Amino acid sequence: MTIGEQVYWLAILSMVVACISWTVTQEEIFREWREICNDKSKTCGNIFQRKFFYVFTCEYCFSHWVTLVVVILTGFRLLIDDWRGYILAFFLIPWIANQWMSLYRRLRVDIKHENLKAEVVEHEKKEKEKAEKEKAAEA
């Protein structure tokens, strides 16, 4: 692959890793399973069991395991066409995936902030209308 093709695949694969990692570790659809894993990561007696369950609660940790599967399934190598290319891909894909997830988290915070501001404005508008109706009723 040319460098341009590698960069293209690096971007796409990191987005795939970010999407899967974010969904499993953050979204509502996996909440119950994540809560079970969170509890087990704190209560299991064996350190290996605790660490195993912790992986499913941390998007950074989970992204490395998703990357491992993605690299195996795609055979993607970065810069070097032997085992070293797999190593480079294994470390770079989750790093970029975590940049995507940070950007997404920031975007969601901004959206939630804007929605909250809109709710406050709407509430103030309703209160003002209510006060005006009460004034009109008194007059």
Read off the pLDDT band of 17 (50, 70, 90): very high
The helix or strand, by DSSP H or E, that contains position 1, with its residue range, turns out to be: none
Identify the pLDDT of residue 139.
Answer: 66
Q: Number of H helices and number of E strands within the chain?
A: 5, 0
Per residue in 89-139, pLDDT tens? 999 999 999 999 989 888 877 777 788 888 888 888 888 888 888 888 876
SS (H, E, C) 91-126: HHHHHHHHHHHHHHHHHHHHHHHHHHHHHHHHHHHH
User: What distances in angstroms separate CA 15 from CA 71, 123, 136, one per listed residue?
Assistant: 13, 38, 57
Give the integer Cα–Cα distance in Å for 10 and 32.
Answer: 32
Domain boundaries, the chain: 3-138
Provide the 3-class DSSP secondary structure of residue 139. Answer: coil
E strands, 10-131, are none
| 61 has a pLDDT exceeding 80 | yes
| 23 has a pLDDT exceeding 70 | yes
Give the integer Cα–Cα distance in Å for 128 and 56.
Answer: 48
What average pLDDT does the chain have?
Answer: 91
Identify the pLDDT of residue 137.
Answer: 81
